[in-house]
Amino acid sequence: MKKIYIISVFIFILISSCFFSGCNNLFSNNKKQSTITNNTLNQSNEKLMMSNIKALAISNRWVGSDNEKKACEYIKNKLQSYGYKTQIQTFPMPTDYAPNGKSKLNNSQNIIAINNSNSNHNKKVVIICAHYDCDKTSVGANDNASGVSVVMECARLLKNVSSDYELKFIFFSGEEIGGLGSRQYIKNLSSDDKKNIKAVINIDSIAQKDGGKPCIFTVNGNNNFATMLLRKVPKYMVVKKMSKELSDYTIFDEAGIPSLCIGQVYDKNLKINGPKDTISLIDESKLKLVADIIINSF
């Protein structure tokens, strides 16, 4: 009887051990399956970015023109559909920039996306930006509907992501005539506002098929706080100095704000500022590469 009892106890312990071990494995597996990271959720959609480029690059978007205002309206409506409130910051077009040199164009405007759920006046600010105007002889597919589409996609995917920074998504006009929009934006900032901006990530002309891989540029070719924010950057994307200082990041750098630009090397192969800059040149994979780098940095 005692022997039977001992055997029974042994079997009971063995079964119990297997059962609880199985339960632990079950709970462990469930935990693994239910863990969702930002990287899982925030995968950029290159088809969506391409659709935005196609919508913007159907006509010229010269600063101050009617087509530029239509592009502004398109971007604003998209941002609002993502759940953002938007601000339109207008600024005057100088007379000497009119195409015929005589008549004054209408005012131009910047578009600023505000995420109220992530807005905190005590938080430090990171600006993610692109210019949406283009050269008057171009439809500006790569320069710079490509950058605009990436910033729009970042805004869409980062809308409900908690961050240590207040993210502002800004679409400047007037870049093609000396960074008029970004200069106006900085001009309207208080000294405290400027101090609160810790980094500017500017996207400009990133996706031409035969234009080389996107690079990270700073004004002096050195790392700064903006470059250190970027994560999961491919090894070939080293920080370098642009051969010709272009785009809005230089305006922020002049104001003492750490800034960078992601773009392609400015050389004879880059078909910007002319009639060849069309949708047929766009490489979807480069859009996704740049968007995912930014998204996964926050």
Is the Cβ–Cβ distance between 260 and 201 less than 8 Å? yes
d(CA 199, CA 31): 36
In a shared domain, residues 112 and 67: yes
SS3 18: helix
In a shared domain, residues 289 and 258: yes
Intervals of the chain under pLDDT 50 = 1-41
Per-residue pLDDT of 273-286, as tens digits, reads 889 999 999 999 99
According to the model, what pLDDT value does residue 25 have? 33
In a shared domain, residues 29 and 48: no
In a shared domain, residues 134 and 51: yes
- For residue 243, the one-letter residue type is S
In a shared domain, residues 125 and 184: yes
d(CA 13, CA 34): 31
In a shared domain, residues 118 and 23: no
Q: Give how many domains the chain has, as a whole number.
A: 2
Show the tokens assigned to 161: 């992501």
How is residue 116 annotated by DSSP? G
- For residue 117, the one-letter residue type is S
- Cα 283 from chain centroid (whole Å): 17
Domain range for 7: 1-35
SS3 288: helix
Q: pTM of the predicted model, to two decimals?
A: 0.83
Is the Cβ–Cβ distance between 220 and 101 less than 8 Å? no
Order of strands, sheet of 165-172, starting from the edge strand that comes earlier in the sequence: 85-91, 108-114, 165-172, 124-131, 197-203, 259-263, 215-218, 239-241
According to the model, what pLDDT value does residue 97 have? 59
In a shared domain, residues 133 and 66: yes
In a shared domain, residues 24 and 112: no
Paired with 131 in beta bridges are 172
According to the model, what pLDDT value does residue 96 have? 60
In a shared domain, residues 132 and 25: no
Angle, helices 46-56/284-295, rounded to nearest 10 degrees: 110
Q: What is the CATH number of the domain that holds 233?
A: 3.40.630.10
In a shared domain, residues 142 and 191: yes
In a shared domain, residues 58 and 27: no
In a shared domain, residues 199 and 69: yes
